[in-house]
């Protein structure tokens, strides 16, 4: 009975050591990712990609507004009767 307990104690202790080392390496990797320099690089990259796509987004929004205004008063007016049934018109 004692050898079984000693065996399982040793297995548990080994698993604990392995788990602690793995957790420490994961934490070290996260610490390296979250340094101020790396955060600044990530923010700069996202900002430049957003700025690069902005002209197309703005141009599309302007074209959509121009198209909607040129269509005339065909859109719903605040005083128009509304359909509250939940059915969508096509």
Residues 6+ apart with CB under 8 A from 75: 68
Model-level pTM?
0.42
- Report which secondary-structure segment, H or E, holds 62: helix 36-70
Grade residue 16 by pLDDT with cuts at 50, 70 and 90: very high
| Mean pLDDT value of segment 63-71 | 70
| Mean pLDDT value of segment 30-37 | 91
Grade residue 26 by pLDDT with cuts at 50, 70 and 90: very high
Three-state secondary structure call for residue 9: helix
* CA dist 80 → 67, 77, 89 (Å): 22, 5, 15
Q: Is the pLDDT of residue 58 over 90?
A: no
Residues 6+ apart with CB under 8 A from 68: 75
């Amino acid at each position: 009975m004692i050898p079984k307990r000693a065996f399982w104690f040793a297995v548990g202790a080994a698993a604990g050591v392995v788990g602690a080392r793995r957790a420490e390496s994961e934490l070290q990797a996260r610490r390296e990712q979250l340094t101020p320099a790396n955060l600044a690089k990530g923010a700069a990259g996202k900002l430049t990609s957003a700025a690069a796509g902005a002209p197309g987004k703005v141009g599309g929004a302007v074209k959509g507004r121009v198209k909607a205004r040129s269509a005339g008063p065909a859109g719903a007016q605040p005083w128009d009767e509304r359909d509250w049934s939940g059915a969508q018109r096509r």
